[in-house]
């Protein structure tokens, strides 16, 4: 403990004594900017959280309490300051770092004006902003800037009217008034005015006004009637020559596929298709084009057609051009769609560090793993001339996590082979009015060989799924999925277990058949605000075994557990999970990420235990990063040799929370992270093999494992390579009263025993 206290003391002294050196490069009679203070004269309910973005100067960045980038620049510049040639490592430090931010009165004035414009845009039309520079009394070369803001009276919308010389346009705007961003009584906000301009423009473009743009819309604001209210008139002006706006119909649609000299065209549903040297069934193209000759121009349908054609997966580029028709250039348009085809065959070889999601349990990469691997992909596009893609994937993977226990680093070997046929339509569902931007039907067949230190699994899955996107949500509906799972447990492992545990392992890792529907979805709000957005991944409903049970009830007298199909026990269960994350980018150098995961699986009918493939586990590079996968839980369960029976550490319920503070170290290349992970797994009912492993609502918070840690992310543009070091804080597998293991943090040997080093690709969430 004395050693730890000395380390803390030296660390604090280094910060205190190093604090006075950050102004070495600041010239005399100038000041290093240390802080910006924006002081409002009163509280307000108006959201002004973005005000700091309008400041022209910001202090040097910090890593924790230290201005790391300023110190790096300062240290690298020492040689230059002394008139010496700068070595390569000093140049590197200069490039990594940033020069001191010197208080500049010109920039202060600019910041004041920009702040005033910002408050004006938020409805404070009579605001005023001034500033003062305050020198630090203890450190003469440091100063902070105070911005004093007098907001004045905020304005609300008193009257709102729309003015146009076209009765048709007025009718369209009036019919959509419920979607307006401007409402009488709301506070004035110029951002809402811009949104309303964009909404009206999109509305008219979707109703045939191809030539209309937002420059024809202006807003008149009148504050003479009231001191606290503003009257708004939205004017839709005519063309520059004062001619009224006209609607345009589509006269002709021509699709050009590939390159060549063939001049023969095929007509399909009013659309002309010129195939040239590339053959594809014209119906496939026409089904992904959502506008027709004789219809009014619709910008949203054009964008949907663009996305849908790209989603077919056959084309490198899709271009849609409109031009006036010769016989009536004012009201008729000709459309030309140019499709530049991709190569028919692709061969991809990817030596890789990998991370995969804990997925459906049906495809070859069914569980989350991380490590190094090798992936080979073969793709054949447009196999049968209907836009199909046939893919073959071969993957070899080694799971890895470095921890000072008896388990070797590469504790899991996985070899998989999968084939998939992707058809760019929803088979048996040919309706065109579902407003889907992308759609496909996928058939997948795979084989997975998975070797653990204690068992070997052979998995043969097959699935048939519909994949489509509606608005910003991606859906996957799998009406048919079948997976044969065969497990072989090491005899030496079983011999070391008690009779009760041996029976449990044999039941858990028995050969089984998983069959049933699955529904998955993904959504995020990044399109609304890329700096602050939510993401939701979920398998709301997963079922298995119900059809087989119905068969037995109708045609057999057999009851109880372990009924079989083709000599294999079928699993019956219901399962659901949700993965919710939120990213908040504070500025270009700092971001905060949060994640919550919850899942539950209920075995019933023919199954006493949830199948091993569909049970939950924690630990590893994307979960609790201080523990190996499957070495924690359920509940407060503990054993004397957790490393050798880690496959037991699975549960029927899981809760997990992760949070990360992410910061930039070297611009566009190296980022750091400080993280906290919490969570555990539980069983739904008591099990003699896992005392205290069941979920109890009044006690579960005491059974949550907790770790912290540090991470480095190397951004290689095409991928992010990640290293995370996790350190345990609270271990529920220890005895009550000794679970806060961090209190024994006093030696390097303790750190080695309670931490783990993780390697992975991509962010953990």
Neighbours of 355 (CB within 10 A): 21
Q: Based on the domain organization, do 506 and 609 belong to the same domain?
A: yes
Is 467 inside a domain boundary? yes
Structure tokens at 207: 């109703």
Question: Can you name the residues that pair with 579 across neighbouring β-strands?
Answer: 537, 597
CA–CA gap between residue 190 and residue 206 (Å, rounded): 24
Of the three residues 121, 150, 179, the one that is the final residue of a domain is 150
Q: What's residue 432's pLDDT?
A: 59
Q: Based on the domain organization, do 360 and 423 belong to the same domain?
A: yes
Is 652 inside a domain boundary? yes
CA–CA gap between residue 733 and residue 49 (Å, rounded): 43
Q: Based on the domain organization, do 312 and 390 belong to the same domain?
A: no
Q: What's residue 99's pLDDT?
A: 87
Mention every residue, 6+ apart, whose C-beta is less than 8 A from residue 303: none
- Looking at the 3D structure of the chain, how many domains does it have? 4
Q: Based on the domain organization, do 106 and 175 belong to the same domain?
A: no
Candidates 247, 295, 248; CA nearest to 269 is 295
Is 143 inside a domain boundary? yes
Is 8 inside a domain boundary? no
CA–CA gap between residue 1 and residue 200 (Å, rounded): 68
Q: What's residue 350's pLDDT?
A: 64
CATH of the domain at 195: 3.10.20.310
Q: What's residue 259's pLDDT?
A: 73
Q: What's residue 402's pLDDT?
A: 57
Is 3 inside a domain boundary? no
Mention every residue, 6+ apart, whose C-beta is less than 8 A from residue 753: 404, 405
Cβ(415)–Cβ(435) under 8 Å? no
- Structural domain span for residue 324: 251-341
Give residue for tokens 């770092």: 97
Cβ(574)–Cβ(597) under 8 Å? no
CA–CA gap between residue 291 and residue 320 (Å, rounded): 12
CA–CA gap between residue 482 and residue 614 (Å, rounded): 14
Structure tokens at 432: 């065109």
Is 206 inside a domain boundary? yes
Q: What's residue 15's pLDDT?
A: 43
Q: Based on the domain organization, do 328 and 420 belong to the same domain?
A: no
Mention every residue, 6+ apart, whose C-beta is less than 8 A from residue 41: 148, 149, 150, 151
Q: Based on the domain organization, do 604 and 626 belong to the same domain?
A: yes
Give residue for tokens 């209190």: 743
Give the total residue count for the chain: 765
Q: Based on the domain organization, do 181 and 315 belong to the same domain?
A: no
What is the DSSP-derived secondary structure letter of residue 209? -
Is 246 inside a domain boundary? no
Q: Based on the domain organization, do 112 and 162 belong to the same domain?
A: no
Cβ(469)–Cβ(451) under 8 Å? no
Ramachandran assignment for 738, one of left (phi > 0), alpha (psi -120 to 50 degrees), beta (any other): alpha
CA–CA gap between residue 396 and residue 255 (Å, rounded): 42
Q: What's residue 107's pLDDT?
A: 94
Q: Based on the domain organization, do 588 and 574 belong to the same domain?
A: yes
- Dihedral pair phi/psi, residue 652, rounded to 5°: -100, 0
Ramachandran assignment for 668, one of left (phi > 0), alpha (psi -120 to 50 degrees), beta (any other): left
Ramachandran assignment for 701, one of left (phi > 0), alpha (psi -120 to 50 degrees), beta (any other): alpha
Is 14 inside a domain boundary? no
Quote the strand ranges of 309-402, DSSP E: 315-325, 328-341, 345-355, 370-381, 389-400
Q: Based on the domain organization, do 470 and 523 belong to the same domain?
A: yes
CATH of the domain at 536: 2.40.160.50
Q: Based on the domain organization, do 100 and 212 belong to the same domain?
A: no
Of the three residues 319, 341, 363, the one that is the final residue of a domain is 341
Neighbours of 193 (CB within 10 A): 18
For the chain, which residues score pLDDT lower than 50? 1-20, 83, 353-370, 406, 408-410, 641-646
Q: Based on the domain organization, do 288 and 205 belong to the same domain?
A: no
């Amino acid at each position: 403990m004395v050693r730890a206290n000395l380390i803390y003391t030296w660390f604090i002294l280094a910060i205190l004594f190093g604090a006075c050196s950050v102004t070495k490069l600041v010239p005399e009679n100038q000041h290093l900017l240390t802080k910006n203070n924006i002081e409002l004269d009163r509280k307000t309910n108006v959201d002004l959280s973005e005000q700091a973005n309008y400041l022209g100067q910001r202090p040097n960045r910090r890593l924790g309490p230290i201005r790391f980038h300023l110190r790096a620049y300062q240290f690298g510049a020492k040689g230059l300051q002394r008139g010496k040639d700068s070595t390569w490592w000093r140049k590197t430090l200069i490039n990594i770092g940033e020069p001191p931010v010197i208080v500049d009165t010109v920039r202060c004035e600019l910041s004041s004006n920009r702040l005033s414009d910002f408050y004006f845009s938020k409805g404070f039309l009579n605001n005023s902003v001034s500033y003062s520079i305050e020198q630090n009394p203890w450190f003469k070369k440091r100063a902070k800037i105070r911005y004093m803001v007098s907001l004045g009276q905020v304005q609300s919308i008193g009257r709102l009217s729309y003015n146009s010389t076209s009765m048709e346009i007025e009718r369209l705007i009036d019919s959509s008034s419920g979607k307006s961003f401007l409402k009488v009584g709301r506070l004035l906000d110029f951002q809402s005015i811009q949104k309303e301009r964009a909404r009206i423009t999109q509305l008219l473009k979707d109703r045939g006004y191809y030539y209309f743009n937002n420059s024809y819309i202006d807003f008149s604001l009148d504050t003479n009637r009231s001191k606290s209210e503003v009257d708004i008139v939205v004017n839709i002006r005519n063309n520059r020559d004062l001619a009224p706006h006209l609607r345009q119909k589509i006269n002709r649609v021509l699709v050009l596929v590939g390159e060549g000299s063939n001049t023969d065209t095929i007509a399909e549903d009013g659309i002309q298709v010129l195939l040239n040297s590339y053959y594809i069934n014209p119906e496939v193209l026409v089904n992904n084009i959502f506008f027709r000759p004789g219809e009014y121009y619709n910008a949203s349908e054009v964008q949907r057609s663009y996305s849908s054609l790209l989603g077919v997966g056959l084309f490198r580029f899709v271009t849609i051009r409109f031009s006036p028709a010769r016989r009536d250039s004012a009201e008729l348009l000709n459309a030309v769609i140019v499709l530049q085809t991709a190569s028919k065959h692709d061969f991809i070889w990817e030596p890789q560090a990998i991370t995969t999601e804990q997925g459906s349990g049906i495809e070859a990469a069914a569980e989350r793993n991380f490590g190094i691997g090798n992936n080979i992909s073969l793709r054949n596009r447009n196999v049968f001339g209907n836009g199909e893609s046939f893919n073959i994937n071969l993957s070899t993977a080694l799971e890895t996590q470095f921890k000072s226990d008896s388990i070797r680093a590469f504790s899991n070997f996985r070899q998989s082979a999968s084939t998939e046929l992707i058809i760019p339509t929803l088979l048996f569902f040919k309706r065109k009015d579902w407003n889907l931007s992308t759609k496909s039907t996928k058939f997948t067949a795979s084989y997975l060989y998975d070797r653990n230190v204690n068992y070997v699994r052979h998995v043969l899955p097959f699935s048939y799924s519909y994949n489509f996107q509606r608005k910003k949500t991606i859906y996957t509906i799998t009406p048919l999925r079948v997976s044969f799972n065969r497990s072989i447990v090491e005899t030496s492992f079983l011999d070391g277990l008690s009779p009760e545990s041996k029976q449990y392992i044999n039941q858990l890792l028995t050969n089984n058949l998983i069959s049933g529907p699955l529904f998955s979805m993904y959504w995020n709000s990044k399109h609304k605000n890329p700096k602050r957005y939510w993401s939701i991944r979920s398998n709301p409903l997963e079922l298995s075994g119900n059809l087989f049970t119905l068969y037995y009830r109708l045609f057999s007298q057999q009851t109880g557990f372990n009924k079989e199909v083709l000599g294999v026990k079928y699993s019956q269960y219901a399962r659901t999970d949700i993965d919710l994350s939120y990213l908040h980018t504070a500025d270009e150098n700092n971001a905060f990420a949060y994640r919550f995961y919850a899942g539950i699986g209920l075995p019933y009918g023919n199954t006493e235990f949830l199948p091993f493939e569909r049970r939950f586990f924690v630990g590893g590079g994307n979960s609790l990063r201080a523990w190996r996968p499957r070495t924690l839980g359920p509940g407060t369960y503990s054993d004397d040799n957790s490393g050798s029976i880690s496959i037991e550490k699975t549960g029927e319920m899981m809760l997990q929370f992760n949070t990360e503070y992410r910061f930039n170290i070297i611009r566009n290349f190296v980022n750091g992270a400080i993280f906290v992970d919490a969570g555990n797994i539980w069983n739904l009912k008591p099990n003699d093999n896992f005392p205290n492993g069941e979920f109890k609502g009044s006690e579960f918070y005491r059974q949550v494992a907790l770790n912290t840690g540090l991470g480095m992310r190397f951004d290689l543009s095409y991928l992010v390579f990640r290293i995370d070091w996790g350190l345990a804080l609270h271990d529920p597998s220890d005895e009550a009263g000794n679970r806060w293991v961090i209190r024994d943090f006093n030696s390097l040997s303790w750190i080695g025993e309670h931490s783990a080093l993780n390697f992975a690709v991509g962010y953990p969430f």
